[in-house]
Structure 1
Amino acid sequence: MTTAHPPRPSSTPPASAARAGRAPGAWPGLGHLPHLLRAPLRFLGSLPAHGDLVEIRLGPRPAFVLCHPELARHVMADGRTFDRVGPLYEGSRAALGNGLATCPHGDHRRQRLMMQPAFRTEHLPGYADAMRREIGAALDRWRPGRVVDMVDEMFALTTTVAVRTLFGAGIADRDIAELRDSLDTFLKGVYLRALLPAVDSLPTPGARRYTRGLATWRAHVRRIIAARRAADPDDRDLLGRLLAARDEAGGAMSEAELHDQVAVLILAGAETTSSALAWALHLITTHPDAEEALHAEADTVLGGRAAGQDDLPRLPWTGRVIRETLRLYPPAWVLPRTATREIEVAGRRLDAGSTLVFSPYILHRHPGFHAEPDRFRPEREHADGIGPQTWSRSSFVPFGSGPHKCIGDTFALTEATLALASIASRWRLRPASAAPVRAVPRSVLTPRALPMHLIRR
């Protein structure tokens, strides 16, 4: 059956063509918060029917959701006007610090210039080698017949990879496990606190667990940085390169800056990649043709071993599976911005201080840019005639857009591709539960649980 190509993105400036609207269903006093807490994906998916810029209510406060890829690109390209400031980012910075993923426009250029050398292409083979070792070690621990929750398993794997590539091989497994547990507790509470900042004023068990998890997480990061500083100088890992980094004036990162960058890197390296892998494993098990192609590629290229950097050019199908997974379930699914001045967007006059929401989940499912947008079709970038360059500009933005686009996108794609191919080369996974797989609202878009039977191939 032939699928019609989607229309090409219009070259019309988004401000002149976009239309503004308002979402129905707001609760008195609560606005759309109940929808965002109970069924956030269903709610987000309903918004494009009401316009390209859709007003929602976060309690008594309005927020404006960008629902058209070109409009979103236009907004995200202007980091000065649409900045990472305001109540939602104040909460994030209180927890994560003022690192590259949370800092406002005024701090961003200096931080990006200092961080960029650690992510140069020439360093990727070293990082990929650490990934290969940890992926292989994790798969060696799997046993046929066991049931494993792939959400937990992938989070454990990617946290270990993040710590090993950041700090080198000298971190004890026990320290990594403790860091992972505290990070998991902290991450489960971030989304709720972004929507309901006052939740910690209530002396609930959940609030106490979150506070303890955050404190433990910070203490671990401080201790690991101190130990790394005391060790022999070594710039072969990410932290060594951050310690050696200098800004345009020749200044090094302060202790607080270093802590904030390390915290963000572990968070991004662990949570976002683990989410992508969990969703990819779910999608593969529910699409037999895609799974068969994945196994055939892994058999041809790997023959049962763990994948490494040199294998990437020979794993094109695996890469397409990862990219299509990121299209359907982008980890960074909602990113707020705040207007720093009065401005018109989509014909709507917005006051300074207005909150705008950039949602890759919405943009990736726009029918004008992707045929059958809700279907899992790893072949789509060729079948639809839309190549990666078009995707990356507006309709495929899993790593954000504009000057704040994720600095570690190649790192994340490499890790996810190596892990998925390595799993496919050794194992066939089958769902252990007939219950629907549901997303859980937290800092990234991740399945609530994904129990799988391990079957050795």
Structure 2
Amino acid sequence: MGDATIAGRARAVPTVRGWPLLGSAVPLVRDPLGFFGSLRSRGPVVTIRIGPQTMYVVNDPALVRQVLVDQAHSFDKGRQYDKLRPWWGNGLANSEGDFHRRQRRLMQPAFHRRQIAAYVPAMREVAEERIGAWPSGRTIALDEELYALTLSMVLRNLFAVAVEERHLATLQAALPVILDGVLWRCLDTTELLEKLPLPANRRFAAALADMHTTVDTVIARHAGGGADLLTMLREARDPDTGEAMSPQQVHDEVITVLMTGAETTRSTLSWVCHELGRHPEMQRRVQAEVDDVLAGQPVQADQLDRLPYTRSVITETLRAYPVVWLLTRRALTDVRLGPFRIPAGAAVCYVPHAVQHDPAWYPDPDRFDPDRFSTGQTSPAGCPASRRPRDTFVAFGAGIHSCIGEPLAWAQAITILATLAQRWTLTPAPHTRVRPAARMLLLPDHLPLVLHPRHTTTH
């Protein structure tokens, strides 16, 4: 696309006026989901200012697709990933260009459907062990229990054997501190706060050291030769050169799987349990489907696709509460998005939460309704759900940077939810209100639920 084409007949991008010096930082901090949701009415693309930096917010799903797929070569991942890379390493989630394509090609076999099926027995074992140990009739912080469960499951899939509890506890304490630390480093466009001798910076540095040391320790003790992710990563070879990943690259990919696997599945399942607790009729439908398909036995890999309503509940959760609710990009050249010109070097973002709450595609978007994904559902605009543009659901991204671990995430989530539905009925703790906390990930601020045992299982 030439410069003349880019410049010709471009429409002015609407600008959101903000506070002097701060721009839109105040409403963004106070209510980030509401703030970005309000931008949809301003236009397909709008500009906001966060401190001294101007950001282009892409609201239209068709233009989001241009950023992620059609013109992906014109963007890199932007500030969010610039801040992640020094601390997470250059794993698949952070890498760019030819190196990213090489790594994706090397790692793809580890996430093939047949390989995912080989991980399910370990997933099931962890789920049965952890969920079976939950206390009956008591209020528990289910988000914290799910975090311990998903982290254990990811570690088991990575290393084939159970990781020592002390290593699990170290990682469980470190990962949230790292995620929160990265978030405010992304928001601080002055880059001054991270250089100050603040207690938060010391906690962040200590958590990073703990994470990297623990991962190195567990990798060093790995025997190899199993049907686990680490073995797949070590044995992967570039088909053109025959080269394997370096030890440092294996380390970085393990960090990436940990950071993206445990926290994201924990977030999704926390919201699933919250909604099932609020909607007993939906919970009974999940339980009835699980009882019918599993017949009281532990879940098997070939049963995961035979739980359509369970999958719909998870899909609707991902729509209503996308784990990564905001993602950044940066224009490498002048780019034309529809009628709008984005200048080279501009910060760009899209907000899955806002896209997936557009009432044009999802009527009554704040209502939790797994049946909205059935083929007969239509929106007021007359769009059947089966023909809803695919870019109105971007929970796993799209294009060359879409989530390679999506099949693994689905297997983990369905295995855990099916195991939970067999054993427990969830009800909200009295006098509590759960609110979204839009930090680096979209998590519930807390999740107290009461566990009631079911008596329909036979194993």
Structure 2 length-normalised TM = 0.90
Distance 2:58 2:260 in 1: 23
Counterpart contact for 1:312–1:418, Cα < 8 Å: yes
CA contact 1:200–1:207 (8 Å) conserved in 2: yes
Structure 1 match to 2:14: 21
Residue identity matched to 1:234: G
Structure 1 position 82 matched with structure 2 position 75? yes
Residues 1:274 and 2:262 aligned together: no
SS in 1 for 2:370: coil
Distance 2:286 2:200 in 1: 41
Q: Which amino acid aligns with 2:414?
A: T
What is the Cα deviation at residue 171 of structure 1? 2.3
Residues 1:206 and 2:197 aligned together: no
CA distance in 1, matches of 2:437, 2:87: 20
Percent identity, aligned pairs only, is 38
Per-residue Cα deviation, 1:24-71 (whole angstroms, up to 9, x for no partner):
4x2221222222222111112111011111211121111111111111
State the AA in 1 paired with 2:73.
Answer: R
Q: Distance in 1 between matches of 2:193 and 2:29?
A: 13
One-letter code of the match for 1:400?
Answer: G
Provide the residue aligned with 1:42 in structure 2: 34
Measure how far apart 1:389 and its partner are. Answer: 7.2
1:240 to 223, 231, 234: 231
Structure 2 CA distance for aligned equivalents of residues 305 and 392 of structure 1: 38
1:8 corresponds in structure 2 to none
State the SS of the aligned residue for 1:165.
helix
Task: Return the letter of the residue paired with 2:440.
Answer: S
- Spell out the pairing of 1:6-405 with structure 2 (5 A cutoff): 20-24=13-17, 26-77=18-69, 78-85=71-78, 87-196=79-188, 197-228=191-222, 231=223, 233-247=224-238, 248-382=240-374, 383-384=376-377, 390=387, 393-405=390-402
Query: Which of 389, 403, 408 pairs up with 1:406?
Result: 403
SS in 1 for 2:336: strand
Paired residue for 2:457? Answer: none
1:448 to 445, 448, 454: 445
Residue by residue over 1:284-308, the C-alpha shift from the partner in whole angstroms, topping out at 9 and shown as x without a partner, is: 1112321221122123233555433
Q: Retained in 2: the 8 A contact 1:306–1:418? A: no
Amino acid aligned to 2:209? A
- More displaced stretch, 110-119 vs 185-194: 185-194
Contact 1:191 1:441 (C-alpha < 8 Å) held by counterparts: no
Aligned residue pair count:
438
- Aligned-pair CA distance for 1:335: 1.0
Determine the C-alpha separation between the residues in 2 that align with 1:259 and 1:302.
37
CA distance in 2 between partners of 1:345 and 1:299 (Å): 49
Tell me how far apart the structure 2 counterparts of residues 17 and 288 of structure 1 sit (CA, whole Å).
51
Question: Secondary structure of the residue that 2:425 maps to in structure 1?
Answer: strand
RMSD: 2.1
1:93 and 1:285 map into 2 onto residues whose CA distance is: 38
Unaligned ranges ≥5, structure 2 = 1-7, 455-459
Does the 8 Å contact 1:131/1:415 carry over to 2?
Answer: yes
Taking the aligned partners of 2:442 and 2:352, their CA distance within structure 1 comes to: 11
SS of structure 1 residue aligned to 2:14: strand
Q: Return the alpha-carbon distance in structure 1 between the equivalents of residues 280 and 254 of structure 2.
A: 39
Helix, strand or coil for the counterpart of 2:330?
Answer: strand
Q: 1:421 to 1:387 in 2, by over 3 A?
A: farther
Cα distance in 2 for partners of 1:258, 1:392 equals 37
8 Å contact from structure 1 (residues 83, 104) kept in 2: yes
Output one character per residue of 1:367-424: Cα deviation in whole Å (capped at 9) or x when no partner: 2222222211101122425788756731111100111000011110111112112111
Q: Displacement, 1:16?
A: 10
d(CA) in 2 for partners of 1:118 and 1:81?
29
Do 2:110 and 2:232's aligned partners in 1 also have CA atoms closer than 8 Å? yes
- Relative to 1, partners in 2 of residues 1:308 and 1:174: Cα closer, same or farther, differing over 3 Å? farther
Residues 438, 16 of structure 1: alpha-carbon distance in 2 compared, 3 angstrom cutoff: farther
Q: TM-score, normalised by structure 1?
A: 0.91
For 2:112, give the aligned amino acid: R
CA distance in 1, matches of 2:75, 2:82: 15
CA gap 1:244/1:454 in 2 versus in 1, 3 angstroms: same
Give 1:88 shift: 3.0
Judged with a 3 Å threshold, the aligned counterparts in structure 2 of structure 1 residues 257 and 264 are, in CA distance, closer, same or farther, namely same
Cα distance in 2 between the residues matched to 1:97 and 1:302: 41
Deviation at 1:17, TM superposition (A): 11
Give the AA of the match of 1:237: D
Task: Report the 3-state secondary structure (helix = DSSP H, G, I; strand = E; otherwise coil) of the residue aligned with 1:64.
Answer: strand
Structure 1 contact 285–291 (Cα < 8 Å) conserved: yes
Q: Give 1:318 deviation, angstroms.
A: 0.5
**Letter aligned with residue 450 of structure 1:** L
Q: Indicate conservation of the 8 Å contact 2:11/2:340, yes or no.
A: no
Tell me the distance in 1 between the aligned counterparts of 2:169 and 2:257. 17
SS of the equivalent of 2:348 reads strand
Deviation string, structure 1 residues 99-157 (Cα, Å, up to 9, x no partner): 11111224211110111111111111121111111111011111112221121111111
Distance in 1 of aligned mates of 2:358 and 2:12: 15
Whole-angstrom distance in 2 between the partners of 1:294 and 1:29:
51
Q: Tell me the SS of whatever aligns to 1:368.
A: coil
Structure 1 pair 298/91, CA: closer, same or farther in 2 (3 Å)?
same
